[in-house]
Amino acid sequence: MFDLAEFLQRELDTHRKEKPTLILPESFDSRTLQVALRLIRYANLVILADEVSIQRYAAEHCPQIPSTRLAFLLKNARFVDIKRETELTAKLKRELLSVAKNGENELSDKDVSEFVSSPVGFAILCTRLGYADAVVGGLQNGPSEFIRPALKYLRGKTDPFEVGFFMLPDGSHDSLFPGNIAIFADIGVTIRMTPEKLANIAVGACRMTRDLFPEAIMPQIRGVIISHSTKGSDEGPSVELQREAALLIPDKLKKLAQENEGYKSIKVDSEVQVCYAHGAGPTFQYNSGAQLTGAKAVTNVLIAPNLDLGNFLYHSYASNYPDSIKFSQMGGVGLKIVEFARESRWEDVLVGVKAHILRLWKYGNWSSTPNDYFFKRYRVLAVNPGSTSTKISVFEGERELFTEELDHPQEKLSQFSKLTEQFSMRKEAVLKALADKNISTASLDAIVARGGLLYPMSSGVYKVSDKILEDLRNNVQGEHASNLGGLIAKELSDDTGKSSYIVDPPVVDEVDPIARITGIKEIKRKVISHALSQIATAKRYAEESGVFYNELNLIVAHLGGGISVGAHHKGRYIDVNDALTGEGPFSPERSGSLPPGQIIAMCFSGKYSEKELKLLNKGKGGLISLLGTSDFREIERKYREGFQEVIDVVKALAYQIAKEITSLIPAFNGEKADHILLTGGLTKSEILTDLIKSRLAGTGIGIKTYPGQNEMRALAYNAVRVLQGKEEIKIYYGRQN
């Protein structure tokens, strides 16, 4: 059987956008909760029930759901008690009265109140007004309670139709359906069929199939319109209707192919004997008179010209192949409805909703939920100062409005004797960049910056305080461009009355005392690392897994200009190499850990000044010393061209990173490491990551890669969680000893 669930997950991760808002009116159903647990990473979920009632229901009816997974759902979904939503309910009532007044049948005040106060009615009208992107139902409510009112109030400009998808078990009908993927349309919507509707359904169903299944999986989409008889009768669907529809299809397919090259692989024929749909007949016939044996058929999509036949096919296959993955998708409703049969398993529902989200992201021309009532889209400015530039990003919810790197010419920087004196110049550059984008500081809900070299602190979000400002100005742990972040954020926020924050600065230190001890009494290990990237990556993986960060043991390797490898034990960052001073693997510009005897000999050889040695350690070490460049794209090119020196150095880099990763396994004190995560700019190199994974294969620990730099999104994400009340604000006390 084709593994559609795994395929959809890869596709969703590839095409990920801002989370759509899905509203779930059938809350007290174990299938709903099972699916909700697994959808948090892809969607904002509105569950129409109060939180306490859901906890009670889950405890009584869903013993298979781990308490930790349920707690994660409770923390991240929005639970809505309709009785308490008086303002929104009043708005929905006005909308329904307006619709009824303009329609054929007016509704009484009692009818309106009953519909709006029901979970299904409330959900449908919330979707109609843009508070949610889609309503998911049908598991508990039959057609008259769910799909009919949903179609009445949510149908688009075109006629709605429904397509059923079956992933049949291996060996069942492979000769009939390529890859054992069977698709049926229309399966339960269109009551009065016309040639135009039938042509639209045939083309729309094939288009939907192509949207979900790329050519690598389904090279050609072949649709056929089926009937009870190739000769026609008064009892079955009209052959004339089908033939009229067939005349309309070529022009519709031509327009579709002009819209997207991928649709050129779609073909539609008619009419075909209904017995062929079950493989009972030895042959089937196209209207062209061509004959194909069942063994050579290439049909993917069977289009039924009436509702009864579509329902018969769908439910017949559902009964005959109960182990198949089956779900339906709606067309002609603007991607606002996700419907399921009452007998659906939770696995079917999960696949169906994922398929809907994928269509929304890839083909729905969707950018964000129209109304952010349930999940407010806070606007946050993130500031990340570097040595010769300042990177800024503005996020609105999960959506990145823009990111820009503001370069500061060396001649301008040279005017300042101290790094902190650059503060005003950089702040003005940020203000100008915002003005150029027509974004005022007053429109921001918060400003967040990368934290600087403060005294050691625990991980988290800190409101910029007077103590933080004092220690940043005094460079208490050394000069670094990141010290400017909190200063800029505080001054920009002061004029707006909004808050400013720093998140997980490089000095985050939750290291166990025994990890600080060295073989020289006077030397204690310090910890300065890519804490922001490390912790954000660990939390991202936890969220994608549907659990909390404090439930996992993770090893995270940030691979950039500097390399840090950290151990994260149940929410604490318990060990990491001192990446700032070059401890650990060598990197593009840093030497990494060196043999002590040889480095001591170099120090007293008289060949190098202190400044030169410091540059070899950080700035001109690593790949620059070994290969003369830190440009990994150039290094990759030479690797592929077979330069042996380059091959050896890249393999050595991968080996040292892998060795550093495995050195942290004891940090978990006998507990198993759940996963290894690779992130940072160097992870864009498949050559390097493949070499690292190969070295680590023997550990038996899963490995996942998050390519590129994710600091800006991590900064904004943490600030938003504070504004949502999901993250506590910590207090910085300064030096503790």
- Asked which of 9-18, 165-174, 392-401, 511-520 is least confident by mean pLDDT, the reply is 165-174
Question: How many Å apart are CA 112 and CA 114, to the nearest integer?
Answer: 5
Q: Which of 507, 540, 560 is a domain's end point?
A: 507
Average pLDDT on 287-300 reads 45
Q: Residue 281's pLDDT band (boundaries 50, 70, 90)?
A: very low
Q: Is the CB of residue 249 less than 8 Å from the CB of residue 199?
A: yes
Residue 719 lies in a domain: no
CA 158 to centroid of chain Cα atoms: 30
Is the per-residue pLDDT at 693 higher than 60? Answer: yes
pTM of the model: 0.87
State the DSSP H helix or E strand holding residue 46, giving kind and residue range, or none if neither: strand 44-47
Partners of 260 in the beta sheet? none
CA-atom Rg of the chain in angstroms: 30
- 277 half-sphere exposure, CB direction, 13 A CA radius: 27
Query: What phi, psi does 335 have (nearest 5°)?
Result: 55, 40
User: 669 with 652, same domain?
Assistant: yes
User: Tokens at residue 683, please?
Assistant: 């992870």
Residue 57 lies in a domain: yes
Residue 729 lies in a domain: no
User: 203 with 288, same domain?
Assistant: yes
User: Tokens at residue 211, please?
Assistant: 């949207």
User: Tokens at residue 501, please?
Assistant: 């924050």
Torsion over CA: 307, 313, 316, 321 (sign): negative
pLDDT at site 300: 84
Q: Where are the alpha helices (DSSP H) in 129-175?
A: 147-154
Residue 1 carries which side chain, given as an amino acid letter? M
Q: Is the CB of residue 565 less than 8 Å from the CB of residue 578?
A: no
pLDDT at site 298: 64
Please list, in sequence order, all residues whose beta carbon lies within 8 angstroms of the beta carbon of residue 625, skipping any fewer than 6 positions away.
591, 616
Distances (CA, A) of 99 to 112, 118, 128, 664, 712: 11, 18, 11, 63, 44
pLDDT digits (tens, 9 = 90+) for 626-656: 999 999 999 999 999 999 999 999 999 999 9
Average pLDDT on 194-205 reads 92
Nearest alpha carbon to residue 485 among 522, 521, 538, 449? 449
Residue 717 lies in a domain: no
Question: How buried is 387 (Cβ within 10 angstroms: 0-12 exposed, 13-18 middle, 19+ buried)?
Answer: exposed
Give one DSSP letter per residue of 486-513, joined into a string: HHHHHHHHHTTT-EEEEES-TTB----G
Q: Residue 615's pLDDT band (boundaries 50, 70, 90)?
A: very high
**What is the CATH number for 498?**
3.30.420.40
Question: How many Å apart are CA 677 and CA 660, to the nearest integer?
Answer: 13
Please list, in sequence order, all residues whose beta carbon lies within 8 angstroms of the beta carbon of residue 571, skipping any fewer than 6 positions away.
548, 549, 550, 551
Q: Residue 181's pLDDT band (boundaries 50, 70, 90)?
A: confident
pLDDT at site 276: 52
pLDDT at site 289: 36
- Per-residue HEC secondary structure of 587-608 comes to CCCECCCCCHHHHHHHHCCCCC
Query: What phi, psi does 114 have (nearest 5°)?
Result: -65, -40
- Asked which of 295-309, 461-475, 608-622 is least confident by mean pLDDT, the reply is 295-309
**What is the CATH number for 71?**
3.40.50.10950
Q: In which region does residue 639 sit, left (phi positive, over 0), alpha (psi from -120 to 50) or beta (all else)?
A: alpha
Is the per-residue pLDDT at 732 higher than 50? Answer: yes
Nearest alpha carbon to residue 588 among 569, 563, 610? 563
In the chain, % of residues over pLDDT 70:
93
Is the per-residue pLDDT at 233 higher than 80? Answer: no
User: Tokens at residue 416, please?
Assistant: 């300042």
Q: In which region does residue 590 sit, left (phi positive, over 0), alpha (psi from -120 to 50) or beta (all else)?
A: beta
User: 441 with 490, same domain?
Assistant: yes
- Asked which of 39-48, 180-189, 380-389, 493-502 is least confident by mean pLDDT, the reply is 180-189
Q: What is the DSSP letter of 674?
A: -
Q: Is the CB of residue 420 less than 8 Å from the CB of residue 701?
A: no
pLDDT at site 172: 67
Question: How buried is 517 (Cβ within 10 angstroms: 0-12 exposed, 13-18 middle, 19+ buried)?
Answer: exposed
Rounded to the nearest integer, the mean pLDDT of the chain is 89
Q: Is the CB of residue 461 less than 8 Å from the CB of residue 718?
A: yes
Q: Which of 491, 507, 523 is a domain's end point?
A: 507
User: Tokens at residue 520, please?
Assistant: 């020289």
Which of helix, strand or coil describes residue 57? helix
CB atoms within 10 A of CB 639: 21
Residue 334 lies in a domain: no
Average pLDDT on 462-466 reads 96
User: 492 with 520, same domain?
Assistant: no
Average pLDDT on 459-485 reads 94
Q: Which of 507, 533, 560 is a domain's end point?
A: 507
Average pLDDT on 402-430 reads 91
User: 496 with 635, same domain?
Assistant: no
User: 21 with 150, same domain?
Assistant: yes
Give one DSSP letter per residue of 369-397, joined into a string: -S--SSS---EEEEEEE-SSEEEEEEEET
Q: How far apart are the first and last CA of the chain?
A: 62
Burial letters 317-329, b for 16+ CB under 10 A, else e: bbeebeebbbbbb
Please list, in sequence order, all residues whose beta carbon lies within 8 angstroms of the beta carbon of residue 153, skipping any fewer than 6 positions away.
99, 124, 125, 128
Q: Residue 382's pLDDT band (boundaries 50, 70, 90)?
A: very high
User: 500 with 530, same domain?
Assistant: no
Is the per-residue pLDDT at 588 higher than 80? Answer: yes
User: 392 with 271, same domain?
Assistant: no
Question: How many Å apart are CA 98 and CA 265, to the nearest integer?
Answer: 44
pLDDT at site 236: 45
User: 535 with 678, same domain?
Assistant: yes
Question: How many Å apart are CA 29 and CA 38, to the nearest integer?
Answer: 15
Residue 189 carries which side chain, given as an amino acid letter? V
Q: Residue 178's pLDDT band (boundaries 50, 70, 90)?
A: confident
Residue 571 lies in a domain: yes
pLDDT at site 34: 95
Q: Where are the alpha helices (DSSP H) in 213-326?
A: 239-259, 307-320
For residue 165, the enclosing domain spans: 161-328
pLDDT at site 275: 53
Distances (CA, A) of 692 to 264, 466, 590, 622, 657: 41, 44, 19, 17, 7
Average pLDDT on 472-480 reads 91
Residue 409 lies in a domain: yes
State the DSSP H helix or E strand holding residue 676, giving kind and residue range, or none if neither: strand 675-680
**What is the CATH number for 277?**
3.40.50.10750
- Count of domains for the chain: 4
Please list, in sequence order, all residues whose beta carbon lies within 8 angstroms of the beta carbon of residue 566, skipping any fewer than 6 positions away.
529, 531, 534, 555, 556, 557, 558, 573, 575, 576, 577, 664
Instruction: Map tokens 């329609």 to a residue.
Output: 103
User: Tokens at residue 536, please?
Assistant: 């954000």
Question: How many Å apart are CA 275 and CA 273, to the nearest integer?
Answer: 5
pLDDT at site 290: 35
Which range among 5-9, 408-412, 624-628 has the greatest average pLDDT? 624-628
Q: Is the CB of residue 249 less than 8 Å from the CB of residue 260?
A: no
pLDDT digits (tens, 9 = 90+) for 518-546: 999 999 998 889 999 999 999 999 988 98
Please list, in sequence order, all residues whose beta carbon lies within 8 angstroms of the beta carbon of residue 50, skipping any fewer than 6 positions away.
79, 81
pLDDT at site 722: 94
Which of helix, strand or coil describes residue 104? coil
User: 288 with 385, same domain?
Assistant: no
CB atoms within 10 A of CB 477: 21
* β strands within 108-180, DSSP E: 134-137, 161-167
User: 315 with 171, same domain?
Assistant: yes
User: 114 with 202, same domain?
Assistant: no
pLDDT at site 295: 34
Instruction: Map tokens 């990556």 to a residue.
Output: 537
Q: Residue 333's pLDDT band (boundaries 50, 70, 90)?
A: very high
Residue 347 lies in a domain: no
Question: How many Å apart are CA 273 and CA 270, to the nearest integer?
Answer: 9
Average pLDDT on 193-205 reads 92
Average pLDDT on 110-120 reads 94
Instruction: Map tokens 């007290």 to a residue.
Output: 28
Q: Residue 179's pLDDT band (boundaries 50, 70, 90)?
A: confident
